[in-house]
Structure 1
Amino acid sequence: MPRATRAAPPSTRRRSSRLNNQEIKNNAIVEIQQRPRRSRKPLDSSSSLLETTSLCISDTLDKSYAMADHPRRSSRITPSELLRRETALEQRELECRRKADELEERSMSLSKKEDEASTIMSQIAARESKATLAQLEEFFTCALCYEIMAQPYSLNPGQCGHTFCALCILRHFFSRLHKACGGWHESVDCPMCRSLLVITPDRVPRLDITFPFVPNRTAAAMCESMIEKLSQSSASSGLARVKREESEGNWPPGSEWDMEWGKKKGKSKAEEEMEEENADLAGWREGGSLRTEWLKKDSEGKKEMLHLLKYWTTMRSQEFVDLKQKFGV
C-alpha cells in the first residue's frame, strides 16, 4: 500500500509563491530593459491639422446624419398635400405677376412725369435764354454796327458816357484823320451826342491823358457773362407741337395734316417770329455763327486798342495814316 504524500506546510507554500512572483517580476523588468527603444518621429503640423480637421468633419457628418429625420413611408407627402402646395405656389405666382404689373405701371408713370419735367425745364431754359438775349440787345447794342458790343470802350473825357465796340470807335476816330498830313485838323465828336473829344497833339511825346478812349470794364463783364450763359443754353430750337383749332387739338410737326396746313394756309406771323428767335438763340450757342463772330471781333478790338495805347505817346503821322488804311476808312 503506497504511502500517502505529506502536504507541505502552509508557510513553505507561501514562501515559494512569493519567490516565484519575484522572479517573474525581475524577468519582466530585465526583458523590458533589454528591448530597444523606438525613436519618436516629430509631428508635422500640417498633417496633424489635416487629421484633426478630417476627424471633426467626419464627426459632424455622423452627427448630422444621425440627427437627420429620414422620412418613412408613413411620413411621405400625400397627393392632397402636394395639390395644396401647388395651389399655394400658383397663388404666389399670380401675386408676383400682379406686383410686377403694378411696378411696370409705376415706372411708366414716372417716365412720363420725367418727360414732362424735362419739357418744362427746357421751356424755362428757353425763356431765360430769350430774356438774356433781349437784355443784351436792349442795353449792350453798339450804336455804330447795331450788334452786341465786343470789347466795349467809352470816350475820353467821359462827358457823355456813350460806349461802343473797340473796332467801331477806332474806325470812327481814324475816319477824321487827313491822309495828306496825318493829323486831325478838326475836332472829333461823339457819334451819338456830338460832344467834343480832346484834340490829339501833333508833337511827340504825347501825354497819356490825351488818349481818347477808356475801357468800359463793367459793360465788358456783363456782355461776357450773358454770352457765356447763352452758349450753355440747352433749350430746343424748334417748336415741339403746333396747335391748330381747339376741335382738332395738337398735331405733331411733320405729319400729313401739318404738311397740308402749310400748303393751304402757310406759317403764321407768330410762328415765323418764333423761328427767328430760335435761330438767334442757336447762333449764340457753343459753336454758333453769332458767337464765333463776336469772339473774333472782341479779340481783334482788344489787340488793336492795346497796340494803340502802347505806342500812343511816340506814334508819328505816317503810323496814323497806316492805321487809317488798315481800318479801311
Structure 2
Amino acid sequence: MKRRKIPKKDSLAVGAQSCATECGERTNVIAGPSVLSKPNFRRSSRITASDLTKRERNLLLKEQEYRLRIQQLDERMSSLLDREDEAAAKLSQLAKKEAQNVLGQLEEHFTCALCYEIMAYPYTLNPGQCGHTFCAICILKWFFSRLHRVCGGWHEAVDCPICRSVLVITPDHVPRPPTTFPFVPNRVATAVVESLVEKLARSSPPVVKQEDPEALRMSETDKEGRKQKREVPKLEDDCSSEVDLDAWREGGSLRIEWLKRDSDGKREMNNIVRSWSTLGSNDFLLLKQRLEV
C-alpha cells in the first residue's frame, strides 16, 4: 500500500500551528505563578475604638477570674495549714501522753523502796520467801550499814527492809560458798526498766514543719487572722509532769542521775560477786567506807 504524500505547504502550516500552540502553553505556565504570587499591597484596616473596648473588657474579665482562682487557692492553702497544725498538735499530745504512761509504769512498778527513785540495776534479796527488789547500790549500802566497824562482821541478823525476812547468814571463814551471797540479779526488771528509760529519752516532741513564706501568697493580715482563728488543742496535764518528762529526756537531770546510779551499782555489785568467796573482814570494812555508810 502506498503512503500518501503531504504537500510541503501543508506540513509547514501544521508545524507552525503546533509550535504556536506549545509556545502559548509555556507562556501561560510561566506567567501563571507570577500572577498568583503577586503580593497584595492593600493597607490593613485599623483597629476601631469599639474593638479596643471589647478587648479591654475581656482582659478585665480574665483578670477577675485569675484573682478569684488565687483567692480560692489561698483559702485552700490556709485550710491545709490549719489541718497541718492540728495534726502536729495531736501528734505532740499523743507523744506526751505516751511518755506520761511510760513514766507512770516506772513509778508504779519499779520504784525502789529505799531511795524512792526509779530502780537502777535492780537486785533481789536471796531468800525465796522474800523476793523484794531494790537498786543495786541502795541494797549494798543498806546491807553494809549493818556491818560492825570494829570487827568487820555482822553480829545481828540482816533482814529485808520491807517484809523483815532474814537473809542468808554470811560466813566468817573463807572461802565461803557462792550460795551465801545475799543478792541475786533481777534480769527481767533490769531489761524492762532500761527499755522504759530509753523510751523516755527518745520521747522528744515532734518537730512542726515551718511555713514557707515564698509558697504562701497571703497577706500579713490574712496570716494574723488565720493564727487567731486556729485553735490548738491543749494538754490537760500539769506543769510538774512536763518538767519530769523533760528531765528524763536525753541530757535531762533525772536521766543523768539514773545513769550514774546504774553505773555505780553495776560496778560495785559485779566486783563483790567476783570476789565474794575470798573477801575478809578488812575488805568488808573498805567496802563500807567506799559506800559511805
TM-score by length of 1: 0.63
Deviation at 1:140, TM superposition (A): 0.5
Q: Which residue of 1 aligns with 2:221?
A: none
1:234 aligns with 2:204: yes
**Among 143, 151, 155, which residue is 2:113 paired with?**
143
Using the alignment, how far apart are the partners of 1:195 and 1:112 within structure 2? 61
**Could you say what secondary structure the match of 2:285 adopts?**
helix
Report Cα offsets for 1:207-254 as digits up to 9, x if no partner. Answer: 222221111111111111212222222359xxxxxxxxxxxxxxx9xx
- Indicate how the Cα distance of structure 1 residues 199 and 101 shifts in structure 2: closer, same or farther if over 3 A, else same: same
1:300 aligns with 2:264: yes
Q: Which residue of 2 aligns with 1:172?
A: 142
**Could you say what secondary structure the match of 2:151 adopts?**
coil
Q: Which residue of 2 aligns with 1:121?
A: 91
- Counterpart of 1:322, as a letter, is L
Using the alignment, how far apart are the partners of 2:283 and 2:54 within structure 1? 106
Q: Which residue of 2 aligns with 1:290?
A: 254
- Counterpart of 1:141, as a letter, is T
Using the alignment, how far apart are the partners of 1:286 and 1:207 within structure 2? 42
Q: Which residue of 1 aligns with 2:284?
A: 320
- Indicate how the Cα distance of structure 1 residues 136 and 71 shifts in structure 2: closer, same or farther if over 3 A, else same: farther
Using the alignment, how far apart are the partners of 1:91 and 1:80 within structure 2? 17
**Among 97, 100, 103, which residue is 1:130 paired with?**
100
**Among 88, 106, 112, which residue is 2:82 paired with?**
112
Map residues 1-329 of structure 1 onto 2, 5 A cutoff. Answer: 73-74=43-44, 80-235=50-205, 274-329=238-293
- Indicate how the Cα distance of structure 1 residues 170 and 76 shifts in structure 2: closer, same or farther if over 3 A, else same: same
Deviation at 1:88, TM superposition (A): 2.6
**Could you say what secondary structure the match of 1:154 adopts?**
strand
For CA contacts below 8 A with separation 6 or more, give which structure has more relative contact order.
2
Using the alignment, how far apart are the partners of 1:170 and 1:117 within structure 2? 49
Using the alignment, how far apart are the partners of 1:120 and 1:275 within structure 2? 18
- Counterpart of 1:305, as a letter, is M
Using the alignment, how far apart are the partners of 2:118 and 2:40 within structure 1? 91
Identity of aligned residues (%): 59
Deviation at 1:121, TM superposition (A): 1.9
RMSD (Å) for aligned C-alpha atoms: 2.6
Deviation at 1:145, TM superposition (A): 0.7
- Indicate how the Cα distance of structure 1 residues 77 and 172 shifts in structure 2: closer, same or farther if over 3 A, else same: same
Using the alignment, how far apart are the partners of 1:198 and 1:71 within structure 2? 124
Structure showing greater Rg: 1
Deviation at 1:135, TM superposition (A): 1.4
**Could you say what secondary structure the match of 2:130 adopts?**
coil
- Counterpart of 2:91, as a letter, is M
TM-score by length of 2: 0.71
Deviation at 1:76, TM superposition (A): 6.8
Deviation at 1:71, TM superposition (A): 9.9
Runs of 5+ in structure 2 lacking a partner?
1-36, 207-227, 229-235
Using the alignment, how far apart are the partners of 2:165 and 2:45 within structure 1? 114
Using the alignment, how far apart are the partners of 1:77 and 1:204 within structure 2? 120
**Could you say what secondary structure the match of 1:73 adopts?**
coil
**Could you say what secondary structure the match of 2:120 adopts?**
coil
Using the alignment, how far apart are the partners of 1:73 and 1:204 within structure 2? 127
Alignment length (residue pairs) = 228
